[in-house]
């Protein structure tokens, strides 16, 4: 089959070092055709490694993916298929519908996947490549170069060696069909060839990125714009021979740097992928049917939900809220009063005295009689303790300025008030003084605490007096506000005996050593999953295998054993049944596995 005349380009490198061995028109932007699927598969391997998707994830085929022209796997709209089968179909058969389905499964839509392809290309150093679809069908702006495709093939080999064997299989099970490799002729004809990808469209011609190894040498070559399958394969064989001839026998392997993982990044200036929303032109110029535009509307950050109201709980009544507020205000006022110093305004003293006077009976009424020879204990109407600040205020009252002021005479016993008045609410502003019919002298003194509950002790020194004229008091009988009894302190024990205690020294017990052979519960079996040139590769294979077969290897231990010429990747601490089961499952996945007995 001959193609229309297409520009030609080729590029050859030593895969070990990246050294360029030959190039022709290597930086010309041409149509890559199905070589595009190397990028699609590279991103799929990356998504699997970072947990975006798994090989066993079920993918639902869209109308857009099912409508892709040949080469096709034959997928139907609405069909579900595991991702591993789509990867096999894209890598081996070069199925366009499978490649499109892979892109939609990872990014939600083909335009979004194309944007990720372009981001990844920049990170890989593919400076002259732009992609607008996942399968490589001819589209405006979908271009690459022989150099970029060769670099991509090298990254596939070194970045994901665990998947590279896909490109050397001549056939594979793709779930719905058995598929054959599109490059089987070159793989069979050229010694050491093991990949990688073919491509063809009328605009691109016959393309091929191939890789082969002979001895310690590995050569990767790309040809774009071949005229036929046979002539392309012959040209690639010539370039491979040229590369093996120029490459040194010994060279230090310099793996390319893996790109950073930027799956969710969205550069603002990348508008090339928007072209995929337009019709995809086939080789004959027709427009492919079944165009679908998918939008990724996943929420990046979930907003915090509002608290759900609890059933059965009603708002408290307004009266209850007011009562609670009054209680709070009263408690605050009482706390403030307790924290006051001795400096109390005289207005507060006058108010306290006025309240006390109102409780006194009418004029001429005798409150309590006191005789010097036989003092009578006063009767208290209430046991409410007077507030400390009231007593202090009364004791600190200034001297009276009127002529009617009197002092307590030593040897006489003044009368005591029936009850001590203490404020229970927050203090109010003092009221204006009211006119008095008769001036009553109230002698205010501080009383010392009494030794008993029924005895009132007279103050040691006379206290200054202040004239107050309440309405209900018309006598000149002096009234003394006495301080109530102080609480009796708890008595201390008369004698305290201290006893000494001598603890016995602990007796050292001899340690008993038990010697026996450990059988590890019969877990003396192991499996080997490969021999590798470096410890890093061995540990990486152990981790990958453990993730793939987590159900059978979850109790096994990963161990790298240094051997002559490399490192063995082993899973140890297994029973014979576990080891055999794990190997059977791994071999079913085309993974090397050997059971190691005790």
Selecting among 62, 67, 94, 109, the annotated active-site residue is 94
Collect all residues with Cβ–Cβ distance below 8 Å to 96 and sequence separation of at least 6.
34, 68, 69, 70, 71, 72, 135, 136, 137
Task: Determine contact, residues 40/117, Cβ cutoff 8 Å.
Answer: yes
Tell which residue, 47, 49, 71, has the closest CA to residue 59.
47
Task: Determine contact, residues 205/224, Cβ cutoff 8 Å.
Answer: yes
Does residue 65 register a pLDDT over 60? yes
Q: How confident is the model at residue 280 (pLDDT cuts 50, 70, 90)?
A: very low
Q: Is 160 within the bounds of a domain?
A: yes
Q: Is 504 within the bounds of a domain?
A: no
Q: Are 58 and 149 in the same domain? A: yes
Selecting among 37, 93, 197, 217, the annotated active-site residue is 37
Q: Are 476 and 386 in the same domain? A: yes
Q: pLDDT for 151-197, tens place per residue?
A: 999 999 999 999 999 999 999 999 999 999 999 999 999 999 999 99
| Whole-angstrom Cα Rg for the chain | 50
Q: Are 136 and 24 in the same domain? A: yes
Average pLDDT of 65-76? 95
Among 228, 262, 277, the domain-final residue is: 277
Q: Are 272 and 388 in the same domain? A: no
Higher pLDDT, 151 or 314: 151
Q: Is 206 within the bounds of a domain?
A: yes
Q: Is 229 within the bounds of a domain?
A: yes
Tell which residue, 236, 246, 156, has the closest CA to residue 189.
236
What's the confidence (pLDDT) of residue 408?
Answer: 37
Task: Determine contact, residues 15/244, Cβ cutoff 8 Å.
Answer: no
Task: Determine contact, residues 569/580, Cβ cutoff 8 Å.
Answer: no
Among 277, 295, 317, the domain-final residue is: 277
Helix (H) or strand (E) holding 38: helix 36-49
What's the confidence (pLDDT) of residue 481?
Answer: 55
CB count within 10 Å of CB 550 equals 9
Q: Is 323 within the bounds of a domain?
A: no
Q: Are 263 and 348 in the same domain? A: no
Q: Is 500 within the bounds of a domain?
A: no
Question: What does the alpha-carbon distance between residue 24 and residue 147 come to, in Å, rounded to a whole number?
Answer: 10
Q: Are 350 and 217 in the same domain? A: no
Q: pLDDT for 6-55, tens place per residue?
A: 799 999 999 999 999 999 999 999 999 999 999 999 999 999 999 999 99
SS3 (DSSP) at 480: strand
Q: Are 140 and 75 in the same domain? A: yes
SS3 breakdown of the chain: % helix, strand, coil, rounded to 5? 30, 15, 55
Q: Is 579 within the bounds of a domain?
A: yes
What's the confidence (pLDDT) of residue 307?
Answer: 72
Tell which residue, 443, 480, 468, 472, has the closest CA to residue 364.
472
Retrieve residue 495's tokens: 């004698």
Straight-line distance from the first to the last Cα atom of the chain, in angstroms, rounded to the nearest whole number? 59
Mean pLDDT of the chain: 75
Q: Is 499 within the bounds of a domain?
A: no
Domain count, the chain: 3
Q: pLDDT for 484-540, tens place per residue?
A: 566 666 666 666 666 655 666 776 666 766 544 444 556 788 999 988 989 999 999
Does residue 104 register a pLDDT over 50? yes
Task: Determine contact, residues 194/167, Cβ cutoff 8 Å.
Answer: yes
Q: How confident is the model at residue 331 (pLDDT cuts 50, 70, 90)?
A: confident
Domain holding 126, by residue range, is 9-277
34 tagged catalytic: yes
Average pLDDT of 91-117? 96
Q: Are 166 and 235 in the same domain? A: yes
Retrieve residue 249's tokens: 């026998």
Q: Are 529 and 444 in the same domain? A: no
Q: Are 532 and 443 in the same domain? A: no
Q: pLDDT for 349-391, tens place per residue?
A: 445 445 544 544 444 444 333 444 444 444 443 444 455 544 4
Q: How confident is the model at residue 336 (pLDDT cuts 50, 70, 90)?
A: confident
CATH number at residue 171: 3.40.710.10
Q: Are 217 and 119 in the same domain? A: yes
Q: pLDDT for 186-208, tens place per residue?
A: 999 999 999 999 999 999 999 99
Q: Are 83 and 164 in the same domain? A: yes
CATH number at residue 525: 3.30.70.1070
Tell which residue, 381, 390, 552, 380, has the closest CA to residue 453.
380
Question: What does the alpha-carbon distance between residue 124 and residue 122 come to, in Å, rounded to a whole number?
Answer: 5
SS3 (DSSP) at 355: helix
């Amino acid at each position: 089959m001959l193609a229309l005349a297409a520009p030609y380009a080729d590029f050859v490198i030593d895969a070990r070092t990246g050294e360029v061995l030959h190039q022709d028109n290597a930086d010309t932007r041409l149509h890559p055709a199905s070589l595009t699927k190397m990028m699609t598969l590279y991103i799929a391997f990356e998504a699997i490694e970072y947990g975006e998707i798994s090989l066993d994830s079920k993918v639902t085929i869209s109308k857009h993916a099912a409508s892709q022209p040949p080469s096709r796997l034959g997928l139907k709209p609405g069909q579900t298929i595991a991702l591993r089968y789509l990867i096999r179909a894209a890598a081996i058969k070069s199925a366009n519908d499978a490649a499109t389905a892979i892109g939609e499964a990872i990014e939600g839509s083909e335009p979004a996947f194309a944007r990720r392809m372009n981001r990844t290309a920049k990170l890989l150093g593919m400076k002259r490549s732009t992609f607008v679809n996942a399968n490589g069908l001819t589209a405006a702006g979908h271009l690459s170069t022989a150099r970029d495709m060769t670099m991509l093939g090298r990254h596939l080999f070194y970045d994901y060696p665990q998947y590279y064997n896909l490109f050397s299989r001549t056939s594979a099970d793709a779930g719905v069909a058995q598929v054959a490799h599109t490059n089987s002729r070159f793989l069979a004809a050229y010694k050491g060839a093991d990949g990688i990808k073919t491509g063809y469209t009328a605009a691109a011609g016959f393309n091929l990125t191939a890789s082969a190894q002979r001895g310690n040498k590995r050569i990767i070559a790309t040809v774009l714009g071949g005229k036929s399958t046979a002539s392309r394969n012959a040209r690639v064989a010539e370039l491979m021979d040229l590369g093996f001839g120029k490459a040194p026998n010994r060279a230090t392997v310099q793996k390319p740097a893996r790109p950073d993982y930027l799956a969710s990044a969205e550069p603002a200036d990348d508008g090339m992928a928007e072209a995929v929303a337009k019709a995809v032109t086939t080789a004959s110029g027709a427009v492919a049917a079944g165009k679908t535009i998918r939008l990724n509307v996943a929420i990046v950050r979930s907003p915090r939900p509002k608290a759900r109201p609890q059933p059965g709980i009603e708002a408290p009544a307004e009266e209850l809220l007011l009562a609670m507020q009054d209680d709070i205000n009263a408690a605050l006022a009482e706390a403030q009063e307790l924290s006051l110093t001795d400096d109390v305004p005289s207005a507060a003293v006058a108010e306290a005295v006025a309240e006390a006077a109102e409780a006194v009976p009418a004029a001429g009424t005798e409150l309590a009689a006191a005789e010097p020879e036989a003092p009578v204990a006063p009767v208290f109407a209430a046991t409410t303790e007077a507030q400390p600040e009231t007593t202090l205020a009364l004791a600190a009252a200034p001297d009276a300025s009127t002529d009617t002021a009197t002092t307590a005479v030593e040897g006489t016993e003044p009368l005591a008030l029936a009850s001590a008045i203490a404020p229970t609410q927050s203090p109010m502003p003092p009221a204006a003084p009211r006119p008095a019919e008769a001036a009553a002298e109230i002698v205010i003194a501080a009383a010392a605490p009494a030794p008993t509950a029924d005895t009132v002790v007279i103050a040691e020194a006379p206290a200054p007096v202040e004239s107050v004229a309440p309405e209900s008091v018309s006598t000149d009988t002096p009234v003394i506000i006495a301080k109530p009894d102080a609480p009796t302190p708890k008595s201390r024990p008369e004698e305290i005996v201290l006893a000494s205690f001598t603890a016995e020294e602990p007796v050292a017990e001899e340690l008993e050593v038990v010697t026996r052979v450990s059988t590890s519960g019969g877990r003396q079996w192991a499996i080997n999953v490969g021999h590798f040139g470096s410890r890093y590769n061995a540990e990486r294979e152990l981790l990958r295998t453990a993730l793939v077969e987590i159900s059978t290897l979850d109790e096994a231990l990963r161990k790298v054993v240094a051997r002559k010429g490399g490192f063995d990747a082993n899973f140890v601490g297994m029973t014979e049944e576990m080891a055999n089961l794990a190997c059977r499952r791994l071999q079913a996945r085309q993974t090397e596995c050997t059971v190691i007995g005790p």
